[in-house]
A and B are shown apart, each in its own frame.
Chain A
Amino acid sequence: MFDNLSQRLQVTLKRLRGQGRLTEENTREALREVRMALLEADVALPVVKDFIEHVRVKAAGQEVLASLTPGQALIKVVHDELVALMGAANEKLNLATRPPAVILVAGLQGSGKTTTVAKLARFLRERDNKSVMVVSADVYRPAAIEQLHKLAAAVGAEFFPSHPDQKPVDIARHAVEEARKRMMDVLIVDSAGRLHVDEPMMQEIRAVHAAIEPVETLFVVDSMTGQDAVNTARAFNEALPLTGVILTKTDGDARGGAALSIRQVTGKPIKFMGVGEKPAALEPFYPDRVAARILGMGDVLGLVEQA
């Protein structure tokens, strides 16, 4: 599945052998294949257009290194651009503040927020030795609070109880007070899933944000998302001062083009990716791995050698 583009490109690129530099003509067909691959990987159309244009300009007239064929050179340009656009490797959480450092997660329904809260709590406890409290401000989804309660127990985080009769803003505010009183290092606030076009719900999350002033506001997004990723990411980014993105469910076979769309639209770093349902299944985000995946290439350097 990941070899789609590499196979297709081999054919087009063979024709580029023995040519000294990349030109409009000799890259046109190959770029068409790249465009298709990006669309099939769910990169949003406007982002694809910009990207192809960018690569065209970058590639045109480029001298090909003695060690590379023009085909190899083009793949390298495409890959390097993708990695560059996806942001620097592995941007960490920034929790430098007077404790408790508050983290707020937000996103569409079912994207993986509650699970991610537990994963982050575990990560910060086990790796950084932080004391972590979690709280659910989801008063809508049946058993959402109970879900976080169970997950908190599983990862050994403190759980601040809340109730569906309460207001999310009050829950969040009380949790901050309690975390401060108990001198917790970190408080992670889970929120209900919401649609970016649901004005009252977007207003609610803005109010929660204003009440607790988190140091990290993370947008949790499903890696299977299609073209709509640009609309949702833009809306959340406008409603909240996001500090980062977490890409979930990358353990499936989605090519994850939404990662590029979201990165382009928000300009915010993707900090982690979810790689499974269990609390330990969280990894730092590596742009080069995701770039290779979006391009449908397992091993880009291997391909460069073959081209």
Chain B
Amino acid sequence: AATQRSFTRGLSDLLLGNRALDDTLFEELETLLLSADVGVETTRHLVSSITDQVSRKQLKDAPAVYGALRQGMLAILEPCDRRLTIAPERPFVIMVVGVNGVGKTTTIAKLANHLKNKGLTVTLAAADTFRAAAIEQLKTWAGRLDIPVIAQHTGADAAAVVHDAMNAAVARKADVLIVDTAGRQHTQEGLMDELRKIRRVINKTRPDAPHEVLLVLDAGTGQNALSQLKHFREAVGVTGLALTKLDGTAKGGILLAMARQTGLPIRFIGVGEGMDDLREFNAAEYVDALLPAP
């Protein structure tokens, strides 16, 4: 709430008064964006588009500048505002990946709940066989949701678990199979190879699967998120993004940089630790949260 406040205050100072459209104003815009983790490059892109429009006399006052900034952000994010639709293929396989501790397992629980509420049957695969009690964590969630988990034991081969889970999901005619994977640093080639292997195992059972490879990102993450996206994309072909922990004060402005670089769909945002705390991404709402109307 603290950033929220200063951000909003900054904006209203910026845009309510009879402000001159000068360098101080542009610098303040820059500050607002940089403080939200938008990053140097995308901030420059957004601000220079504003200064261009001002010098072409297309923007006359501060409120017009505000509107143009909003438009600039929407132009980047709207192409990424594409929902995850569960295609008719069965099982529809969702593989969930990301660095350590971003919220993969919790997002899976929320997503399973979301799909279950739509009347779909969901099975989970506990392919984090590395972290202590990762399997128990997923099983606890599955128990609360009353859905099956395919699991082995800590230390088991993750690809073997996924192989079992694919067979089980086919046998049970599950609508959706969601695969939880261990958190890993994208720079660790050996661990990224394990993910590639999991993907191959899924693909062997169903040539059109996985249907979605969801990269989970923490809203608190700064510029490193770009490196995460690049490496996970190269390794396993990310098809959608989820941004967690937006219930804090972090803005997750790095989404703008990612959207601009890749145009990848942003599927969900996480706004809490409970199973109902998942929202479908909405570009306009996100921009409003980043740039509250003065």
A residues with a Cβ closer than 8 A to B are 1, 36, 39-42, 44-45, 108-112, 140-144, 146-151, 154, 195-197, 222, 224-229, 231-232, 234-235, 249, 251-255, 257-258, 277
Which residues 100-141 in B have Cβ within 8 Å of A in the complex?
A: 100-103, 130-134, 136-137, 139-141
Does B31 belong to the interface (CB within 8 Å)?
yes
A222 surroundings in chain B (CB, below 8 A): 101, 218, 220-221
Query: By the criterion CB–CB under 8 Å, are B273 and A109 in contact?
Result: yes
| A and B contact pairs by CB, cutoff 8 A, 21 listed | A39-B39, A45-B31, A45-B35, A108-B220, A110-B102, A142-B136, A147-B133, A147-B134, A150-B133, A195-B248, A196-B248, A222-B101, A222-B221, A227-B35, A227-B250, A228-B37, A228-B249, A228-B250, A232-B249, A251-B187, A257-B222
- Contact: A226 with B254, CB < 8 Å? yes
A252 touches B40 (CB 8 A): no
Q: Which residue of A lies closest to B231 (CB)?
A: A253
Residue of B nearest to A110 (CB): B101
Out of B39, B154, B249, B273, which one reaches A40, CB within 8 Å?
B39
Nearest chain-B residue to A145 (Cβ)? B133
Are B245 and A142 in contact (CB-based, < 8 A)?
no
Query: What separation, in Å, do the CA atoms of A28 and B29 have in the docked complex?
Result: 22
Q: What residues on A are CB-neighbors of B103 within 8 Å? A: 109-110
CA distance A39 to B37 in the complex (A): 9
Contact of A226 with B222 in the complex, beta carbons under 8 Å: yes
Within 8 A of A (CB), among B217-252: 218-225, 227, 245, 247-251
CA distance A229 to B224 in the complex (A): 14
A225/B1 contact (C-beta < 8 A), A231-B249, A251-B185 known: no
The residue that B218 contacts in the complex, of A110, A257, A277, with Cβ under 8 A, is A110
Counting contact residues on chain B (CB < 8 A from A), the size range is: 35 or more
Q: What residue in chain A is nearest B140 (Cβ atoms)?
A: A142
List the A side residues contacting B140 at CB < 8 Å: 142-143
Do A42 and B248 touch across chains, with their CB atoms under 8 A apart? no
B3: nearest residue on chain A (CB-CB)?
A231
The answer to whether B1 touches A197, judged by C-beta atoms less than 8 angstroms apart, is: yes
Contact in complex: A197, B223 (CB < 8 Å): no
User: Which residues on the B side are within 8 Å of A44 (C-beta)?
Assistant: 35
B2 within 8 A of A: yes
In the complex the two chains form, is B248's CB within 8 Å of A224's CB?
A: no
Nearest Cβ distance between residue A138 and chain B, in whole angstroms?
Answer: 11
Contacts of A45 in B (CB 8 A): 31, 34-35
Contact of B227 among A227, A249, A253 (CB under 8 A): A253
Asked whether, in the complex, the Cβ of B3 is within 8 Å of the Cβ of A36, the reply is: no
Q: In the bound complex, how far is the Cα of B245 from the Cα of A222, in angstroms?
A: 14
B220 A228 Cβ-Cβ under 8 A: yes
Main secondary structure of the interface of A (DSSP, over half): loop
Closest to B141 in A: A142
Q: What residues of B have a CB within 8 angstroms of the CB of A227 in the complex?
A: 34-37, 222, 250-251
Nearest Cβ distance between residue A181 and chain B, in whole angstroms? 27
Q: Is the CB of B3 within 8 A of A252?
A: no
Contact A197 B2 (CB under 8 A): yes
- Is B158 close to A, CB under 8 A? no
CA distance A66 to B134 in the complex (A): 59
Contact A252 B186 (CB under 8 A): yes
Task: Determine the distance from Cα of A45 to Cα of B34 in the docked complex, in whole angstroms.
Answer: 7
Expressed in whole angstroms, the minimum distance between the Cβ of B241 and any Cβ of chain A is 16
Quick one: which of A149, A234, A253, A255 has the most chain B CB within 10 A? A253
Pair B2/A226 contact, Cβ less than 8 Å: no
- B223 near A42 with CB under 8 A, answer yes
Find chain B residues with CB under 8 A from A112 CB: 100-101
Residue of A141, A224, A255 with most partner-chain B CB within 10 A: A224
Asked if B62 is at the interface of the complex by the 8 Å CB criterion, the answer is no
Q: A235-B2, A249-B185 are in contact. Are A140 and B273 (CB under 8 A)?
A: yes
Q: How far is the CA of A227 from the CA of B3 in the complex (A)?
A: 10
Task: Give the residues in chain B near A42, CB-CB below 8 Å.
Answer: 37, 222-224
Structural contact, B187 and A226, CB atoms closer than 8 A: no
Which chain B positions have C-beta within 8 A of A40? 39-40, 223
Q: Does A109 lie within 8 Å of B254, measured CB to CB? A: no
B149 to chain A, nearest CB (A): 12
* B47 close to A (CB within 8 Å): no
Shortest C-beta distance, A132 to chain B (Å), equals 17
* Residues in chain A near residue B34, CB distance under 8 A: 39, 45, 227
Please tell me which one of the listed residues B188, B222, B249 contacts residue A196 in the complex, with CB atoms under 8 A apart: B249
Q: How far is the CA of A196 from the CA of B188 in the complex (A)?
A: 31
Of the candidates A41, A146, A257, the one whose C-beta lies within 8 Å of that of B133 is A146
Q: Within the assembled complex, what's the spacing in Å between the Cα atoms of A38 and B223?
A: 11
Q: How far is the CB of B163 from chain A (nearest CB, A)?
A: 24
Which residues from chain B contact A277 at a C-beta distance below 8 Å?
A: 100, 130-131
Q: How far is the CA of A22 from the CA of B37 in the complex (A)?
A: 32
CB distance from B280 to the nearest CB of A (A): 22
List A contacts of B273 (CB < 8 A): 109, 140-141
- A228 in contact with B133 (CB, 8 Å): no
Name 12 extra pairs, CB < 8 A, besides A150-B133, A277-B131.
A40-B223, A110-B218, A110-B245, A197-B1, A197-B2, A222-B220, A225-B221, A228-B250, A232-B248, A253-B227, A255-B223, A277-B130
